[in-house]
Amino acid sequence: MSYSRELIEIYDLLYDRYGPQYWWPGETRDEIIIGAILTQNTNWNNVEKAIENLKHKNLLTLTALRNTEIKEIAQCIRPSGYYNQKAIRLQEIAKFFHRNSLQSFNAFSTAKMRMELLALKGIGQETADSILLYAFEKPVFVIDTYTKRIFHRLGFFTEGISYDEAQKFFMQNLENNTKLFNEFHALFVRNAKEYCQKNPHCAKCVLLKKCKFENKNHDLNKKQ
């Protein structure tokens, strides 16, 4: 069964409400890759603080990170949380891209690129796919907690759906288009932060009429 039309309707509703999101923040591939590591288990406001610290120390490149002491990196990225682990991950991915230049890596197939990234310690599916989509502009749909939450409440996903199942749903029912995947994911994040939170604010959500969330009516009654 194809859900293509329903997905595009949802996309159009979100896009008409919020407009383009201009994701992912970062001026260079290096910055986007670094940001994808830093954003693990934290919000973007904390990542921005860590990035500013790295920028102030002239460490916002993979080459600089590769040649810097782990302790110094960790100190810079403290605002992002789990800073010791993330410092190690940043240096590991910097070393990886020293062995495989960004250009040579980009010449691999998308499947090969993904496999190589997932082989790195601390790089999970969401981080790998964020790097592929945003840094290398590969048509890979990124799945995160926000996406799963929204599509569970819309009735498309069962609770506890796997990353692979969720990703397959989008990639089988949407045009294989990097810009579409980029914008759709960003719009999910925007809507989840503003309305479809853990404790949602349903009344003004643009997806309200499509929502099957069991607590929706209770939330609407509170608004009246």
pLDDT tens digits, one per residue of 28-44: 999 999 999 999 999 98
What percentage of the chain has pLDDT greater than the value 70? Answer: 94
Long-range contacts of 6-9 (CB under 8 A, 24+ apart): 7/170, 7/173, 7/174, 8/174, 9/210
Q: Which two tokens stand for residue 157?
A: 């996903």
Q: What is the pLDDT of residue 219?
A: 53
Q: Spell out the domains of the chain, with CATH numbers in brackets.
A: 4-22+142-210 (1.10.1670.10), 29-135 (1.10.340.30)
**Residue partners of 113: CB distance under 8 A and separation at least 6:** 105, 106, 132, 136, 138
Measured distance CA(192)–CA(57) in Å, rounded: 34
Q: Which two tokens stand for residue 125?
A: 């599916």
C-alpha pair distances (Å), 222 with each of 196, 201, 214 = 16, 10, 14
Q: Does position 21 have pLDDT exceeding 50, yes or no?
A: yes
Q: Is the dihedral of CA 175, 128, 168, 181 positive or negative?
A: negative
Neighbour-count burial for 113-145, b at 16+ CB within 10 Å, e otherwise = bbeebeebeebebbbbbbbbbbbbebbbbbbbe
Q: Does position 223 have pLDDT exceeding 60, yes or no?
A: no
pLDDT tens digits, one per residue of 50-62: 999 999 999 999 9
Q: Does position 67 have pLDDT exceeding 90, yes or no?
A: yes
Average pLDDT over residues 144-151: 96
Of residues 222 and 63, the one with the higher pLDDT is 63
pLDDT tens digits, one per residue of 104-132: 999 999 999 999 999 999 999 999 999 99
What percentage of the chain has pLDDT greater than the value 90? Answer: 90
pLDDT tens digits, one per residue of 157-196: 999 999 999 999 999 999 999 999 999 999 999 999 999 9
Q: Is the dihedral of CA 31, 34, 37, 40 positive or negative?
A: negative
Largest alpha-carbon pair distance within the chain? 60
Q: What is the pLDDT of residue 224?
A: 44
**Residue partners of 157: CB distance under 8 A and separation at least 6:** 148, 151, 166, 169
Q: Does position 153 have pLDDT exceeding 80, yes or no?
A: yes
Residue 194 burial (C-beta neighbours within 10 Å; 0-12, 13-18, 19+)? middle
Which of 130, 133, 163 minimizes the C-alpha distance to 44? Answer: 130
